[in-house]
Structure 1
């Protein structure tokens, strides 16, 4: 397969962009992972099994809470930054955020009603929830693509990496610990190895040791053994807790 000159330019531009500070990359990997996992869980939930139904309900409600918080974070920090220097660029996505909030409220209500339904009605209700959740996930995947392309181009043209890091730092400072641990659980396993190491190396420098260790303990069960080995080697830690590495 041969690439045109224009396609080669696009590939080169994409490669250069990967070196820029990206406000969306990590959290969007987390959201894609948790959305997909939740959708699959609802699809396989046994309507005759109360525990399966309760698990599906809890997963959907947790996802909706995370999505609502994410919308709020972007509305509070990212969109104002875009509009301050490139007015109008975030208008379409801002309107989608309004629509997403309506969808979030509806999906949460559909999930919460499951436990109150008679057993004979649960199969239909679960299927309705599955179908509507699938559309929500599909819409969000397209939405995130626009943010990672159109919005990032605007941010990179208007802000330095130091300025973008400051915006991200201000956003992260408002995230409650429970929400942060939920994000870490879904984000860290789905970053590639260099991203994961860079993220945790930075966290190690700025976070208290017990917090850093709690994040490591939380992510380890969700990493493949080769990924865990790469991470601990990069951090200079023993792959098995308690072992002392040789000098």
Structure 2
């Protein structure tokens, strides 16, 4: 990946002097969504047609989100890396292509499960569960490489101001419906400081109705103390 030790030291130094991280937040959202979907599939009652339809839809929703995430990274993050470190994103780009193929296979498998004969549901559900488990396991390893090796390249070649520009351009490209779905999995699984910073930034730059809609999406997925901390950081009444 054309990454040297000087660049890797950028990752270690970031712990002492944090840099803008294009991966941290969205990867927390992905890990949460992946884990929740896999657990839901594992406990689903495949003999219940409604429950099977619901979990199948959740799997397809996850796969759609993964496909969109790959596109965002390819178009914004990989382009930035290649612009100043040609070849540094090649390994991950190759894995992205593989993930695209796996997503198609998993989507076909999930759709087939929804329409299979009743006596084949149990075996089909278990097969999908195992296949999704492997996909998620590989993605967890994949995201670690991006958070370390790719960040090393970015931090060595871009200022924080430039990274913020890349982030803002990426966010601006996301349709409102996808953004609300992203916030549902992003904000609740951040730590309190990250959560407060993100929502404060959104309030500062987004239209007021969009910010209010984001709070409505996020609040049901926060514990009482989590919401109280966020409300205090934003100067809101806890029962607002």
TM-score (norm 2): 0.94
Alignment of 1:125-164 (within 5 A): 125-164=124-163
Structure number with larger C-alpha Rg? 1
Cα offsets for 1:208-233 (capped at 9, x unmatched): 11110111011111001111000000
Instruction: Identify the residue that residue 170 of structure 2 maps to in structure 1.
Output: 171
Give the deviation of 1:10 after TM superposition: 9.4
Name the counterpart of 2:15.
15
Q: Do the aligned partners of residues 11 and 97 (structure 1) sit closer, same or farther apart at CA in structure 2, a change above 3 Å counting?
A: closer
Structure 1 match to 2:3: none
* Larger RCO (CA within 8 A; separation ≥ 6): 2
How much does 1:14 deviate?
A: 4.4
How many Å separate the matches in 1 of 2:168 and 2:20? 12
Moved over 3 A (4+): 9-12
1:114 CA displacement: 1.8
What's the RMSD between the two structures over aligned residues? 1.4
Deviations 1:150-183 (A, max 9, x none): 0001000000001001011111111011111111
Gaps of 5+ in 1: 1-8, 242-247
Q: After TM superposition, give the deviation of residue 12 of structure 1 in Å.
A: 5.8
TM-score (norm 1): 0.91
SS of the equivalent of 2:22 reads coil
Alpha-carbon distance, 1:142 to partner: 0.2
Secondary structure at the counterpart of residue 215 of structure 1:
helix
Structure 2 gap segments, 5+ residues each: 1-8
C-alpha distance in structure 1 between counterparts of 2:12 and 2:91, whole Å = 28
**How many residue pairs align between the two structures?**
232
